Amino acid sequence: MQVRLTASFLSKGFLLTSAVLLLLAFRGQTADPPRRGHSSQHPPKKWEVRVDLKTVGDYRLDEGGPNFSGHYSFAILWTGWLEKDDHDYLLYRLDSRLCDWNAQETTSLTTGEAALSTKDFQERPAFALKYILRNGEDLTLDFIVDPISVPVAGPEDAFPLLLPSSAQNVQHEAQVDYNSGVFEGSNRVELPESMIYAGPVVRTYAWSWKHQEWLPKENRTAFVSQSHTAKVQLSITPRS
């Protein structure tokens, strides 16, 4: 089964000028999925979609120079809706909001210890729901929270702080295999397609992730460690 993805922006005169249209075209689909819980004459054709993501994480860089350690937490809310379009779906984005963001970083220098707070972090976590893929009888979410650079106090030693992504995404931009660092739970965010026709769906997904490596620097080698826990609540509610 092949999937074709297209995207377009809603016209400027539309109420939500920033909405992004993602079209998932499923070739070879000849029949609608089961519609349990609804009359065959009045199946749902539109669904509200809500993704709540909460993350807590840490990072550390040491060996051969100043030591940096950081801690952060954030919450993101993504809202949108699905529409049935013949045998395809249209996915619209309404909003993607960073609801909470806290970060601290400590640096051990020869002159003492320095500390940074949230206001010192210019970059902020940004969430992107790439698409929803029909995988057999399931719907699978592809999303990523874009990496940010740390340590803030040592830009010459900066490395990408990887933030949560779904198993479908795999963070192609990074040299690190994100999925291989999931050591507890699962970042595969999916559900049976038939469930969205049966009524409101609320599912929670959670995982823990960690990565460690030695990074070559100009005159030394630094040890980098980063980890986080993620919790995603997916809500899909049919509308007439």
Specify the pTM.
0.81
- Rounded to an integer, the average pLDDT of 26-48 is 58
- The residue behind tokens 């803030």 is 152
- pLDDT, one tens digit per residue, over 143-155 is 999 999 999 998 8
- Rounded to an integer, the average pLDDT of 87-96 is 87
Strands 138-145 and 148-150: unpaired
- pLDDT higher than 80, residue 173: no
pLDDT of residue 136: 85
- pLDDT higher than 90, residue 204: yes
Q: What is the percent of the chain where pLDDT is above 70?
A: 79
Query: Which H or E run includes 16?
Result: none
DSSP string computed for 160-177:
EE---B-TTTTTTTSSS-
119: helix, coil or strand?
helix
pLDDT of residue 26: 35
- pLDDT higher than 90, residue 208: yes
- pLDDT higher than 70, residue 18: no
**Which of residues 211 and 2 earns the better pLDDT score?**
211
The amino acid at residue 37 is: G
- The residue behind tokens 């669904």 is 47
Residues sharing a CB contact under 8 Å with residue 203, sequence separation 6 or more, in sequence order = 191, 233, 234
The amino acid at residue 152 is: V
pLDDT of residue 28: 33
- What's the whole-number average pLDDT of the chain? 83
What own/partner pairs with CB < 8 Å and gap ≥ 24 does 168-175 have?
A: 168/133, 168/140, 168/141, 168/142, 169/130, 169/142, 169/143, 169/144, 171/144, 171/147, 173/147, 174/147
**Which of residues 237 and 136 earns the better pLDDT score?**
237
Q: Is the dihedral of CA 167, 124, 11, 79 positive or negative?
A: positive
- State how far the Cα of 10 lies from the Cα of 128, in Å rounded to an integer: 17
Residues sharing a CB contact under 8 Å with residue 151, sequence separation 6 or more, in sequence order = 59, 61, 68, 70, 105, 107, 157, 158
- pLDDT higher than 50, residue 6: no
- State how far the Cα of 26 lies from the Cα of 30, in Å rounded to an integer: 10
- Rounded to an integer, the average pLDDT of 4-12 is 36
- pLDDT higher than 80, residue 8: no
